[in-house]
Each structure stands twice: as C-alpha cells, then as structure tokens.
Amino acid sequence: MKTESISTKVLIIGGGGAGLRAALAASDALTPVDVLLVSRGALGRSGCTALAYSDRMAFHVALPTTPPGGDASWRAHADDIYRIGGEVSDYRLAEIIAKNGAQAFDYLVKLGVPFKRRDDGTPDQFITDGSVYPRACYTGPDTAVQIEKALLHEFARRGLKAVTGWSVVRILMNKGEAAGAAFLSGDGRMLVVSASAVIIATGGPGGVFFHNAYPGGMTGEGHRAALLAGASLVNMEFIQLGICSVATKLACSGSLFRALPRIVDGSDREILPPFLGTDWPRLAEITFRKGASWPVNADEPTFMLDVAAALAVAEGRKVYLDYSRPSSLENRELTPDLSNFHREGALSTLRLSTPIDRLRAINPLVIAWFKKRGIDLETGGKIEVAPSAQHFQGGIHIGPDGSTLVPGLYSCGEAAGGQHGANRPGGNALLDTQVMGRIAGESAAQFASGRALKKARVGKDAKHEAARLCSLDAYALGTLLKEVRRTIGTSAGVIRRENALASGLNELVDIESRLADMRSGQNHSGAGLLGLSVLSAVTVGKAVLSAATERAETRGPHIRFPENSLTPLPRDPKMSRRWVIIHADVDGSLLTYWADCHR
C-alpha cells in the first residue's frame, strides 16, 4: 500500500463548521502557524454545515438584547440547555456554550454572515423548540451554509492548509498521547500525519441510519478512531429523529406543518386517525404544533405523529405531506391558538382555503425550494417523508476544554458528546460548533505548543486492516452497508423495544463476522472507504443499541416502548443525571457502564 507522510503541530480531522472554527482558533494561538485540516469531502461541498437547509435554520444564542437581559440571558440559556436535555448533559458545558454565544455570534458577523435584523438594527430572534425566550438568529433556510461560507473564506484568506479526499482510519499514539492520524483514500493510498495534538470534528454519524438528513459519507469514522485510541462515547442513545423529505432530506418543520397538510400513505389514507382517533381539533393541534416541536420528543404530544409515520414506513407504506386539498382536519372547530395564528397570518379563510394556500401565505420560499428540486407542490406534488436521523446528541466524550480521555486528543461539534443531553434547543447545534470549535482549537494549540513534534507510526494491524479492506469487492461492501443501515434504523428508530434492540445487536455482530470472513473480490474501486464505512457504522450502531438497551426508560427522543404497546415507558428518576458511557476493550469489543453527569 502506497503511503505518504506529512507533519503538523495541530491536526484537525473534518472540514465542517466545527473543524473550520477549530482551525482558525488554533492558527490564532500558534506562532508560527502550523495547522493542517484533513477532510473526506471537498471543503464547502460536503458535511452538514455546508449543505444543511431547513424551514428557517436557527443559530441559537443569548445576546445582550435577548430577554431577560444581562447575565440573566445566558444563564437562562444554560438552564434551558440542561432542562431541555433532560438533566443528562454536562452543566459545565451548557454554561460555557451559553456564556460564549454572543462572542461566537459577533465573530461570525465580523466574517460577514448576514443575520437578519429588525428595523432598529438588533438581531431578529425567534423561539425554538422548548426554549423560554426568543434566541434563534437566522439568515433564512441557509443559515448553516452562510456560516460555512464565511468560515471557509477566512480559512482561505489566511492561507491555511487542507487536504481532502481522506477518511480517518486510526488515531496514532506515542507514549500514551495522540501523535497524529492515519487516513485512507478512495484509490487505496494511506496518508500518515504526525501531529502534537489532534482534533476530531467529523460530525455526527447520521449516515448509519437508513433514513437520515445527512450528506453522504458520515458513518462514524471519527467515533471509531476515538474509541480505538482510548476515548469514550457518551449519550449515544439520544438521537434527534424527525420528519424529513426522503428525496431532498429537508427537515419538514415550521410552516410545512403549520399549513396543516394532509398526512397520507400511498393509498391516500390519512395516517393519524387510526392512532389518535377522530378528535379533529386535537389532531389539528398536533399537526400544527409539530412545526414548533419537530424532533420526536416524548414530552410533547406531537410524538404520536412520528410514531404513526414510523409504523407506516415499517409496514412498507410510503408517507406523504399533501398540500393539494383540504384534509379531514378542515371544516372543524379549531383551537384558539390555531385560529389566532392563521388569522394573524392574514389567513382568515382558513376553513375555505387549501393547505397550499396557507403555505403560500406563510412561507412561499419553501414552495420555490421544493419546486427547484422537482417537487411542485402548487400542481399537486407531494413530499414523501419518513422519520429520519437529524442530529446525534451524544458522541466522543469531552470536557470543558474539548479534551477527551486521551492526552492530546480533542473533539468538537456534533462528533463530540456531553454538551447536549437527550434534547437541545433548536439552533444550539450550530452554536456548539462555533463555541466548542474555538475552545478545542485553542486548547489543542496550547497542548501542542509545549511539546516537540514526534513522528507517528502506523501499527501493523492498522496497515493490514486498510490493505484488506481495499482488496474486497465494493459492490458486496455496499450491500453490507445498506444492511447495517436498515438494521440500525429498524432497531433504534422512533419506536424502541427491548427485543428489537437485542435482535439488532445480534445482527450487527453477525455483519461484523461476515465482513471479517469476506474474501477478496474483483471490483476494488472505492472498496477501502466502503469497508471503513461498514466497520465504523457497525461500531456506532453497537454503541447506539447498547446505550438504548441500558436506558430502560423514555427520555426525550429516546422512547422505549413495552412489547406490543404504544404507551411509552415513563421517565425513571434514578436515570436522571446519569450517563451511559461506551468504551472499547483491548480487543476492540465495546464495554458499557453508567456514570454520574458532571454538574
């Protein structure tokens, strides 16, 4: 296997919002600047930050102008993070993210991110999922994209170095400290980077789910590398799942539900009445409120909409949002909240108009967005949807400085875990990338500054693994990866039951064994990266299913159901302020144990 070697003081793995912010922060802290960013995809054209769109994407932050004002604003934000997180997050991190939010916002404004402002010049902010005060800043549906563009422009302006087309295989160690990383390319080459400090910012591994809102290639390579190096994972059972467009992966929140579409299967049958009865005002209320409580959350009655959709998909039926004609929710007595909302939105003809009329009045931009992508809602086009993985709340366990259990190894962004609990305020994920990205970059630079650069070496086992993966048949590996995704999606989706979790774990172990027994094939193009994706997805899947098995309660998006019942298990107070930790044994097998959350 052809191997290339380079060195740097600080190595950042991942080129999304968190990785770019970490690189900029590390370059500020290092003299001379010696930072290298390595990414699997092209910068600005891969990863969540560069490609994410939603109805109105939020950057959640407590500013001086945010109620209730002064220090009380960020303290209320920290309390919301912890409360919405179900008391299973690190309160120290909640405070750090909330307190440093305004600084992160100002930095992005300085870089040119065009956040919307009111007539008086103050940032326009709105309330998102579960928050007490309006803190969500935005540019529109492309807030994340605008942030990525600004960071990437600054990265290029400074002349910082990046190499793309490489996926991480292992974190390399020297005398108990992170000393670099080994990477694999699509054409079977290996890159060895020696470094004094390493930051993993590879994003969430949402690609391990069959239905997901993630760009391609996000299957948890960073998580697997961290585990094999000695770091731990935390809160892996908590994954935000929500109704997304199957074709475009757009999160169907906000106006898409507030317009009260018909929610139907392929036979044009509405999917809610069989599960929720025919209390039409309640059904309308649930549909409407789904726009403001989009990720599945057992604390909100809207979770039954996700359950109905999940059951339909599990039965092999397709589910659609249909705006072409009124649903059974129409011409019924509506609750005051719904009537007031639509009246204020100049929709006094609510009972006479169609969902497309309401959507056109509330948010015409989203209609144009779908039309551009081949779904013309105004001519009767429907949005096929499915409950989809949208954000991993857990990840590589970090401390307040972004450090892991491995000296010299840091993590930030969605790859990291501990800062969010079961849920999070909408828009906090983007804020997290900027606050903890900066802190991880500064911490890694400080660690690296005090250490001489040592040459990293790749062990024989890692070289052998990479070479073997490159020799396998790419078609067979692709089929295996689909099987992993279906297994994880079926076992750890909206509806989680003990038997399904156990069956899923067994299936993943079986897939792992079949991969180990797989012989060399003829179609090698891209086989190495596909094989690495299968290994990583299996590792992440086992972590998710193991943690979900341990937490025999319902908390946020982790909804445990008894067998043959749609009544969730209640929250167990004994599991509050307690984490499920995943660690790798010396043979690579996963160990699961409980620990108290930091407070």
Q: Helical H runs in 428-526?
A: 428-449, 460-471, 474-491, 498-517
**Residue 347 and residue 253 share a domain:** yes
Mean pLDDT of the chain: 93
Helix (H, G, I), strand (E, B) or coil at 117: strand
Per the DSSP assignment, residues forming a β-bridge with 288 are none
Domain edge (last residue) among 366, 387, 408:
387
Domain edge (last residue) among 342, 368, 387:
387
Please indicate, yes or no, if residue 363 is contained in any of the structural domains.
yes
The candidate with the shortest Cα–Cα distance to 457, out of 5, 26, 151, is 5
Please indicate, yes or no, if residue 99 is contained in any of the structural domains.
no
Distance CA 143, CA 155 (A): 18
Range of the domain at 259: 243-387
Cis geometry, peptide bond prior to residue 32 (ω within 30 degrees of 0): yes
**Residue 365 and residue 480 share a domain:** no
| pLDDT for residue 347 | 45
Please indicate, yes or no, if residue 170 is contained in any of the structural domains.
no
For 146-175, b where at least 16 C-beta lie within 10 A, e where not — what string?
bbbbbbbebbeeeebebbebbbbbbbbbbe
The candidate with the shortest Cα–Cα distance to 286, out of 272, 298, 274, is 272
Distance CA 395, CA 413 (A): 9
**Residue 371 and residue 273 share a domain:** yes
Please indicate, yes or no, if residue 191 is contained in any of the structural domains.
no
Helix (H, G, I), strand (E, B) or coil at 357: helix
Give every residue of the chain whose pLDDT is below 70, as ranges: 327-352
Q: Helical H runs in 158-272?
A: 221-229, 255-258
- And the tokens for 28? 């500020």
* CA atoms 329, 58, 421, 201: torsion sign: positive
**Residue 486 and residue 376 share a domain:** no
Distance CA 411, CA 181 (A): 14
Each residue's pLDDT tens digit, 477-530:
999 999 999 999 999 999 999 999 999 999 999 999 999 999 888 888 899 999
Distance CA 153, CA 138 (A): 19
| pLDDT for residue 52 | 85
Q: Supply the angle between the helices 91-99 and 71-84 in degrees, to the nearest 10.
A: 140
**Residue 467 and residue 332 share a domain:** no
CB of 290 closer than 8 Å to CB of 243 = yes
| pLDDT for residue 342 | 55
Distance CA 414, CA 417 (A): 7
- And the tokens for 82? 């912890």
Distance CA 425, CA 83 (A): 10
CB of 553 closer than 8 Å to CB of 560 = yes
**Residue 464 and residue 381 share a domain:** no
State the CATH number of the domain containing residue 536. 1.20.58.100
Distance CA 37, CA 158 (A): 13
Concatenating the DSSP letter of every residue in 21-67 gives HHHHHHHHH-SS--EEEEESS-TTSSSHHHH--BSS--EE---TTST
**Residue 375 and residue 464 share a domain:** no
**Residue 554 and residue 468 share a domain:** yes
Task: Characterize the bridge pairing of strands 161-164 and 416-417.
Answer: unpaired
Please indicate, yes or no, if residue 556 is contained in any of the structural domains.
yes
**Residue 374 and residue 277 share a domain:** yes
**Residue 257 and residue 380 share a domain:** yes
Distance CA 368, CA 448 (A): 49
Please indicate, yes or no, if residue 69 is contained in any of the structural domains.
no
Each residue's pLDDT tens digit, 82-135:
999 999 999 999 999 999 999 999 999 999 999 999 999 999 999 887 788 999
Please indicate, yes or no, if residue 141 is contained in any of the structural domains.
no
CB of 39 closer than 8 Å to CB of 162 = yes
**Residue 247 and residue 383 share a domain:** yes
Non-local CB neighbours of 105 within 8 Å, separated by 6+ positions: 59, 61, 63, 115, 123, 137
- And the tokens for 40? 């699997």
Domain edge (last residue) among 368, 387, 406:
387
**Residue 350 and residue 265 share a domain:** yes
Total number of domains in the chain: 2
Alpha carbon 537 to chain centroid, angstroms: 15
* CA atoms 64, 68, 70, 72: torsion sign: negative
Please indicate, yes or no, if residue 142 is contained in any of the structural domains.
no
CA distances to 169, 237, 452, 587 from 182, in Å = 6, 28, 19, 19
